Structure 1
Amino acid sequence: MNGRAKRLALTSFAALALLLQLYDKSHGPSPAKRDAVAFLHRTPGKALVKVAGIPEFSGIYQVSVPATIGSVMKLSVPADSLILLDDSVGLQRVCEGDVIIFDVQHTGYTHVSCERMSAHERVTLGIPLDLSSMSRADWEALPGIGPATAQSILEYRQQIGDFTSFRQLGLVPGIGPATMSRLKPYFFGYITPCNY
């Protein structure tokens, strides 16, 4: 089995494991327990975000947009959990595919950081990939993109700044119409990373 086939097999296995975990969470205890619930169908006006750092409440949540860290926390963590956020952090905007990491400090306040979901998680959940935040490994996991093309994409992005449209990807040396056709489903609906 060659390297690409191994990566595809591992990615498929990881996607299946994530879907089984999401299915289990979406069909588990009643909502009164406030468990993280994943929605495997897309709802207009909603975004999928991941909450991490508090084991009993970590998971994938579907939130109304526009969303903030505070609104995601209200949805995912019961009010009696005594998690305190600075007001400026609570008002920070959250985009689809973000991961909000809560780290409760011994002082009672919570340090919050935000990062993007991996390309594998985004594809599994049906979230368009973000052209401007993908790593070399993310690019290489896509069909028709090898190490040299992934490097060319990163170099091109470095020259122009962030991509503003999917069509710009076609300007990268080594990416032709056939590759663009194969990649398009992974970026469906892409305008900008936070387009709501």
Structure 2
Amino acid sequence: MVRYERIILLLVAAALLIPAGIKTRQSAQNAALAGFSVKGFVRVEGDVAHPGMYPLSANLVTLSAIKMAEPLRPLKRLAPAGAAGRRLKNGEGIRLTIREDGQGDVIFIPLPASERMLMGIPLDINTMGAADFDRLPGIGPLIAGRIVTYRQNNGGSMALEELLKVEGIGEKRYETIKRYF
């Protein structure tokens, strides 16, 4: 009977200690993640071993993102001047081309609207083309063209609320698409 009492005692102790251990492990994982808060995503492509999307932290600069993607050849410098230390923005893309002399030419490009929507990155109404607007739910090529024309006729930029002034966009359609911006 003493043997059964020990087994029961061990089972009770395990039942009490396992949840405490799991909670401690989760707290440690959460603390580690808190040190690296993700502010969005950037894409790195071109002459890199691992092209793709990378998490954007508060102070991520161009050179750091390129290093994460591993350049195919050693880099001596980046062009244009100041590109290496430039802070990246959510939804931005970097295309790297490495020359024979080791210079890395960097081009900054916004991600297409379809990718931004997929990643939950807000769209910029003032940089979108008709094809980008066409990807929004309830907006076809005709209304997309009207949005671009409205923007061009009103100084080349517009506020989100101005979509209501575009023919074919009523309250219901506006409410459906405004969450993407």
Same fold (TM over 0.5): yes
**1:38-81, CA deviations, whole angstroms, 9 ceiling, x for partnerless residues?**
xxxxx855220000003422110002124331232243337x95
Q: Which moved more, 1:169-178 or 1:81-90?
A: 81-90
Q: Residues 55, 89 of structure 1: CA spacing in aligned structure 2 closer, same or farther, 3 A cutoff?
A: closer
Instruction: Work out the number of aligned pairs and report it.
Output: 143
Question: Is residue 111 of structure 1 aligned with residue 93 of structure 2?
Answer: no
Given that 2:56 and 2:88 are in contact with CA atoms closer than 8 Å, whether structure 1 keeps it comes out as: no
Q: Which residue of 2 aligns with 1:161?
A: 156
5+ unaligned residues in a row in structure 2: which ranges?
1-35
Letter of the structure 2 residue corresponding to residue 82 of structure 1: P
- Tell me the TM-score normalised to structure 2 length: 0.70
Question: Is residue 82 of structure 1 aligned with residue 74 of structure 2?
Answer: yes
From 42, 50, 54, the equivalent of 1:61 is 54
Q: Secondary structure at the match of 1:183?
A: helix
Q: Which residue of 1 aligns with 2:33?
A: none
CA distance in 2, matches of 1:170, 1:134: 17
Q: Secondary structure at the match of 1:93?
A: coil
**Highest Rg: 1 or 2?**
2
Q: Which residue of 2 aligns with 1:137?
A: 131
Letter of the structure 2 residue corresponding to residue 65 of structure 1: A
Given that 2:48 and 2:66 are in contact with CA atoms closer than 8 Å, whether structure 1 keeps it comes out as: no
Q: Secondary structure at the match of 2:78?
A: coil
Q: Which residue of 1 aligns with 2:120?
A: 126
Post-superposition offset of 1:143: 1.5
Q: Secondary structure at the match of 2:162?
A: helix
- Tell me the TM-score normalised to structure 1 length: 0.65
Post-superposition offset of 1:93: 3.4
Letter of the structure 1 residue corresponding to residue 151 of structure 2: R
Post-superposition offset of 1:166: 2.2
CA distance in 1, matches of 2:164, 2:64: 38
Q: Residues 58, 150 of structure 1: CA spacing in aligned structure 2 closer, same or farther, 3 A cutoff?
A: same
Given that 1:47 and 1:65 are in contact with CA atoms closer than 8 Å, whether structure 2 keeps it comes out as: no
CA distance in 2, matches of 1:145, 1:63: 30
5+ unaligned residues in a row in structure 1: which ranges?
1-42, 188-196
Q: Residues 44, 168 of structure 1: CA spacing in aligned structure 2 closer, same or farther, 3 A cutoff?
A: farther
Post-superposition offset of 1:182: 1.1
Runs of 4+ aligned structure 1 residues displaced above 6 Å come to none
